[in-house]
């Protein structure tokens, strides 16, 4: 267990230090920030479009982080020959694969968590549909305080202790984002204590949880491919599976009864459509907890199967 946690911790820190990690999060936060302005021209219910744009941004950002971070988790160790030092400790190969998965998954969870809080704040602010609508200065002020605090503290720790600015900023963002969302849960737009009118919807939280499960599946697939192939092949394979997973029912579902290849593809390719609940948003319907449990069970079983396959691939991989 000590070896597992040590490798997972190092993988988590290495993922946070990758420039692509911070760039994707910054781009996602920027798009979520301007999404209320992008959603105000629908001629219908702008806030529903705001929620769908936000969930789409959350989905793509988490999947891109999962693909880019996990694709090099094992492949870079093989290319740099550092894996020989790790395995000579000795560290069992199954522990190495599982630890790499846990480290990247933790980084994806952190990024997804930060973007989810930003999305909830954007939904709380809402779209200014008429000239009489006003800005939610509680949200805007809290976001400004969070951003300034993160920048100042990250710069201080970088100057005083030599901590890397980007990785420190990501962790500090998660901490201050938590404090911000807790504050907004009790304070309304008039700066009054009113937890019953905080503007948050359980459907949005459920949608975020489902999208995180989809990202975890992609992390497992990327780790499995990187255990045997280089980064380019891993990126290509994960991108292809991601696209197929979005149209799984259309490609495999309608042909599964008559064609063996469609039936096999339906079971082998993850069905990412089940993690997307835009229909529930547009129809203003509830998402039952039973659906969350069933979908989480599917994601858990698929992830476990992919990790078992990754361990089998890595068992006979030459690392010398």
Q: Give yes or no for residue 20 having a pLDDT over 80.
A: yes
The answer to whether position 149 is within a domain reads yes
**In the chain, how many domains are there?**
1
Confidence of residue 24 (pLDDT cuts 50, 70, 90): very high
Q: How far is CA 59 from CA 116, 124, 244, 287, in A?
A: 10, 19, 15, 18
Residues of the chain with pLDDT > 90, as a percent, come to 32
The answer to whether position 27 is within a domain reads yes
Which of 65-74, 86-95, 127-136, 145-154 is the most confident on average? 145-154
Pairwise CA distance, residues 252 & 245, whole Å: 10
The answer to whether position 303 is within a domain reads yes
Cβ of 96: how many Cβ atoms within 10 Å?
Answer: 23
The answer to whether position 200 is within a domain reads yes
Cβ of 177: how many Cβ atoms within 10 Å?
Answer: 23
Res 101: pLDDT: 92
- Mean pLDDT over each residue of the chain, to the nearest integer: 85
Q: Which residues pair with 218 in a beta bridge?
A: none
In 32-62, which positions are buried (b, 16+ CB within 10 angstroms) versus exposed (e)? Answer: beebbeebbeeeeebbbbbbbbbbebbbbbb
> Angle, to 10 degrees, between the axis of helix 46-71 and the axis of helix 93-125?
160
Res 47: pLDDT: 76
The answer to whether position 189 is within a domain reads yes
The answer to whether position 147 is within a domain reads yes
Q: What is the DSSP letter of 29?
A: H
Q: Give yes or no for residue 172 having a pLDDT over 70.
A: yes
Res 240: pLDDT: 87
Beta carbons within 8 Å of 205's beta carbon, 6+ residues apart: 116, 120
User: What number is the average pLDDT over the span 48-57?
Assistant: 85
The answer to whether position 320 is within a domain reads no
Structural domain harbouring 72: 2-128+135-315
Pairwise CA distance, residues 247 & 67, whole Å: 19
Pairwise CA distance, residues 307 & 101, whole Å: 8
Cβ of 267: how many Cβ atoms within 10 Å?
Answer: 11
User: What number is the average pLDDT over the span 259-285?
Assistant: 79
The answer to whether position 225 is within a domain reads yes
């Amino acid at each position: 267990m000590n070896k597992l946690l040590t490798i997972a911790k190092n993988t988590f820190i290495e993922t946070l230090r990758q420039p692509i990690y911070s760039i994707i999060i910054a781009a996602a936060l920027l798009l979520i920030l301007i999404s209320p302005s992008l959603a105000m021209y629908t001629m219908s219910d702008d806030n529903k479009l705001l929620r769908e744009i936000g969930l789409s941004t959350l989905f793509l950002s988490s999947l891109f982080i999962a693909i880019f971070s996990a694709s090099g988790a094992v492949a870079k160790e093989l290319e740099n020959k550092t894996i020989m030092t790790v395995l000579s400790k000795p560290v069992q190969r199954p522990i190495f694969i599982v630890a790499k998965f846990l480290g990247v998954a933790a980084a994806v969870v952190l990024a997804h968590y930060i973007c989810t809080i930003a999305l909830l704040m954007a939904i709380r602010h809402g779209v200014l549909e008429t000239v009489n609508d006003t800005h939610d200065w509680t949200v805007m002020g809290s976001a400004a305080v969070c951003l300034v605090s993160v920048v100042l503290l990250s710069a201080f720790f970088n100057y005083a202790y030599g901590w890397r600015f980007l990785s420190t900023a990501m962790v500090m963002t998660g901490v201050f984002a938590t404090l911000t969302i807790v504050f907004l849960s009790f304070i309304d737009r008039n700066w009054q204590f009113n937890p019953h009118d905080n503007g948050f919807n359980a459907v949005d939280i459920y949608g975020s949880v489902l999208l995180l499960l989809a990202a975890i599946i992609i992390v497992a697939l990327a780790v499995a491919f990187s255990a045997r192939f280089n980064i380019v092949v891993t990126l290509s394979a994960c991108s292809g599976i991601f696209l197929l997973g979005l149209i799984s029912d259309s490609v495999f579902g309608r042909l599964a009864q008559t064609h063996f290849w469609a039936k096999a593809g339906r079971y082998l390719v993850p069905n990412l459509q089940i993690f997307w609940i835009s229909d529930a948003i547009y129809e203003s319907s509830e998402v039952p907890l039973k659906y969350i449990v069933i979908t989480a069970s599917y994601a858990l079983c698929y992830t476990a199967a992919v990790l078992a396959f990754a361990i089998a691939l890595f068992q006979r991989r030459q690392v010398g």
